Structure 1
Amino acid sequence: MTDHREVAVVRWPGQNPPVEDGLAALLAAYHLQTEAEKGESVADVDELPDRYRAEIADPRTAFAGDVVLVALLSDTVVGCLVVTSPNNGRAEIKRLWTGPESRGRGVASALLSAALTQAAELGAHTVRLSVWEWRTGAIALYERLGFAVTPSWDEREQLVCMQRPFRGVTAIR
């Protein structure tokens, strides 16, 4: 696996350098790409569903109560991930995104490692996530980290639900 020591993962907000613009850009890219992959014709952020535009416009409010992790290469924001506060002992990972120009450099692995640490600190006994079935690279990464497919908690077609019982954090190398 790629060595990701050059990737710094910080908790947002409150870090230096400021990352808000970079986070908004990553969220916009994530949602636009996802809509395109679903076959939706969305030309720009203004055409996204309201809930997604709200995340991009005001992530502080959209993710209040959640942990937002941002990956940096030098001072450049290159990836993001959200860990929800546990509900019935389950934290959820969502919005994992690495900018295309930074893929293959361990960004997603670094974010996931930090997310598992956060979930442990929040008291979760299980970490879960959902991923579109066509994102085979992401599914393979999740499986390498101990996530397994589980019955769906979401009714959307082509969405794969996965979870990992929390047994401690294992460093990702």
Structure 2
Amino acid sequence: MSDRGDIAIVRWPGRAASVEDGLAALLAAYHLRTETEKGAAVAGVDGLPGRYRAEISDPRTAFAGDVVLVAVSGDAAVGCVVMTAPAEGRSEVKRLWTDPAFRGRGVASGLLGAALAHAAEGGVGTVRLSVWRWRTGAIALYERLGFTVTESWDARDQLVCMERAV
């Protein structure tokens, strides 16, 4: 666990049910916002594609084998990130999300720093991620942390692929 003021980064699953419930809420907010930004807004979680509903309803199964880090403030989950299990010396950052009420407090950079440290400890050589082109704040954060744009491995339009050595 690492502290960032009153924000702590914890590896999930932990012992507190509130973190698990909070993780599901963070994932729901992430997916609902993403669908809205893509122009495919849905009224609620039930309108999301099945693979996203599965992450929200059962993150333990959806991310089995991956590392999930959750930022907490008191008992409240305020941010999350998933680092996929290494494959061929690479891991991928997914689902980086900070509760809007906690943005600007170093939550996302703390989560990414902890995820990169975990990757380094596990012998991962490269970490990669994909981000929607319109998420300019996220892209700027990734660039500050040493990620660079690379050739796309994902054919979805408006997706920027980035990577960095660990």
Would you say same fold, with TM above 0.5?
A: yes
| Structure 2 counterparts to residues 30-109 of structure 1, below 5 A | 30-109=30-109
Change (3 A) 1:8 1:43: same
Percentage of matched positions with identical amino acids: 71
Counterpart Cα distance in 1 of 2:93 and 2:124: 12
Pick 1 or 2: higher relative contact order, CA cutoff 8 A, min separation 6: 1
Paired amino acid for 1:25: A
TM-score by length of 2: 0.95
- For the aligned residues, what is the CA RMSD? 1.3
Q: Is the 8 A contact 1:4 1:109 kept in 2?
A: no
Asked if the contact 2:79–2:99 (Cα under 8 Å) also holds between the matched residues in 1, the reply is yes
Once structures 1 and 2 are overlaid, which stretch shifts more, 15-24 or 144-153?
Answer: 15-24
SS in 1 for 2:4: coil
Task: Compute the displacement of 1:65 (Å).
Answer: 0.2
Stretches (4+) displaced over 6 A: none
Alpha-carbon distance in 2 for matches of 1:18, 1:68: 15
Figure out how many residues of one structure are paired with residues of the other and give that number: 164
Q: Is the 2:18–2:77 Cα contact (8 Å) retained in structure 1?
A: no
Contact conserved, 1:17 with 1:75, CA < 8 A, in 2? no
Q: Trace 1:133-144 onto structure 2 (pairs within 5 A).
A: 133-144=133-144
- Could you list the runs of 5+ residues in structure 1 that have no partner in the other structure? 167-173
> For 1:41 and 1:127, how far apart are their aligned partners in 2?
30
Deviation for aligned residue 1:18 = 4.0
Q: 1: CA distance between counterparts of 2:19 and 2:63? A: 15
